[in-house]
Structure 1
């Protein structure tokens, strides 16, 4: 049985909530750090048809919910990324009139491949 998913994974803070400088208006996570880490561990696994029930039981998290948590984490970076790109575009215009700055969120397939790589401590 697939658990019901909440479409709103991030909440917009109230007007009177003040955080660190420049952070006002950014979404707050609705998932805890441990839920995000656990979702990453689920998505790191080789998700074959036979392995999914074992993974879900071991991690206590449904695969669909793990993807929902990962997508919400990924989507939460859209606004900060946009702000950085806009600031970069403004600064580029002073250097080169026709310069273009581009940005995109990482695709989920790329995120999963990165999670599957061996951890390296540089």
Structure 2
């Protein structure tokens, strides 16, 4: 295959190669609270779910103790089990600002919904050869 054939193949196949899907995870806070997140961790999109083009959402509920750590993390609702472990791991890795000594609140229940979706990557209209 000569260089012109390779270039023609890349020009034709380029948009198809660039049209891969990007995994995104959107986090929705369901509970209203004055507790301010100190560290918020987003879950990883499971490789198998991405490969199989699976989307879904998980609602995870948990307690926040006085020191700001998440405790008793559990799944309340889930559309696909593949997303449960990454969501639980993300909540466990997150933390909140500790409660000040003068505050009387001991612990608080909190819920968070993670939405796993595949969005098409936007291919830039690039013409490397400069030819039309």
**Could you state the TM-score of these two structures normalised by the residue count of structure 2?**
0.24
Larger Rg: 2
Instruction: Specify which structure has the bigger relative contact order, considering alpha-carbon pairs within 8 angstroms and separated by 6 or more residues.
Output: 2
Task: Give the structure with the larger helix fraction.
Answer: 1
